[in-house]
Structure 1
Amino acid sequence: MRYEDLPAPRTGILLTHFLTVADVARSRHFYSEVLGGEVVLAENPCIVKLANAWLIMNPGGGPTPDKPEVTLQTPDDPGRASSFLNIRVADIAACHREWSAKGAEFLTPPIDRKAELRCYMRDPDGYLIEVGQATGMLEGVLADPPATPQ
């Protein structure tokens, strides 16, 4: 491990994302071997640098003194999400082919959404990951607004 690779800014702030995982080794493999991240720290916690961001992964568990009423757990319903990772790529077709060949499971192939090409996949714990490539938005074409709840 090289300490300079850790997500520890000398000034200002740096954003990381924490994932509660069921199996650290399995998640570490997915984010490093399938998506091409760099393992910075293998365990306790696992830290993987993916492009210009860091993912911190540890098993779930009950409350701790600094979060006294919070239990961490992996997603329990794959049909519902309150947040997701968003990976922006230069060539979505190439990423879709490469990551699929390495075992990534996409919900659909990339779909043209006018402002971008976009598809979603899941990690081993069921976390939703959006993969997108800017297209129309680079020329001022925006996506349709979200549907209004009925």
Structure 2
Amino acid sequence: MAEQGGFPVPEAGLVVAQFLTVRDVRVSREFYADVFGGRVVLAENPAVVQVANTWIIMNPGGGPTPDKPGVTLSAPEAGDPVSAFLNVRVADIAAFYADARAKGAQFLTEPLDRGSEVRCYLRDPDGYLIEIGQTTGLLRGITAEQ
């Protein structure tokens, strides 16, 4: 894969990026750049932040367009229902947790040992759920607790 202006440009095959519909592009862009150490590739229209080996694309919601007829994009509503979330793997969850909290990230719980992994969750400024995990027991054949 090559990069052109900071954007991933597949030379063959494909590249997967995550698109998030956000309420405030600046706030979301700064969250992903700061908490995850991301690199801002494009500040607006859409905002693009490279986080490790992926790109997060952020733009406000809106109604249907010619290429997505009948589709309306909107940020998540407040509450617990979730149909998808980001899953971030880290090498040292304790260090990530401490650093992210120092930067203002608010976690649902502290990291919990689930047997196969240690994990915790936080929400971004729009309420998107993000799992932070460190694979531990799975590397020794221990599967997740229910």
TM over 0.5: yes
- Is this contact kept in 1: 2:115–2:137, CA < 8 A? yes
- SS of 2:99's partner is helix
Which segments of 5 or more consecutive residues in structure 1 lack a partner in the other structure?
A: 146-150
The one-character-per-residue Cα deviations of 1:12-34 (angstroms, maximum 9, x if unpaired) are: 10000000000000001000012
Count of residue correspondences: 144
Residues 7 and 16 in structure 1, CA contact (< 8 A), matched pair in contact too: no
Identity percentage over the alignment? 59
SS in structure 1 opposite 2:79?
A: coil
Alpha-carbon contact 1:20-1:60 (below 8 Å) kept:
yes
Q: Quick one: which amino acid aligns to residue 91 of structure 1?
A: D
- SS of residue matched to 2:70: coil
Q: Is 1:37–2:38 an aligned residue pair?
A: yes
Q: What is the match of residue 73 of structure 1?
A: 74
**Aligned counterparts of 1:82 and 1:5: Cα–Cα separation in 2:** 30
- C-alpha distance in 2 between matches for 1:65 and 1:56: 20
Residue 58 of structure 2 is matched in structure 1 by 57
Cα shift readout 1:79-122 (whole Å, capped 9, x = no counterpart): 11000000000000000000000010100000000000000000
Cα shift readout 1:56-95 (whole Å, capped 9, x = no counterpart): 0000000111111110000013311000000000000000
Is the partner of 1:114 in helix, strand or coil?
coil
- Superposition TM-score, scaled by structure 1 size: 0.93
Partners in 1 of 2:56 and 2:99 — Cα distance? Answer: 21
Aligned to 1:133: 134
Question: After TM superposition, where is structure 1 displaced by more than 2 Å over at least 4 residues in a row?
Answer: none
Aligned residue in 2 for 1:115: 116
Q: Which amino acid aligns with 1:70?
A: V
Query: Paired residue for 1:94?
Result: 95
Match of 1:99, as an amino acid?
A: A
User: If the length of structure 2 is used for normalisation, what is the TM-score?
Assistant: 0.95
CA distance in 2, matches of 1:77, 1:24: 18
- Cα contact 1:87–1:129 (8 A) shared by 2: yes
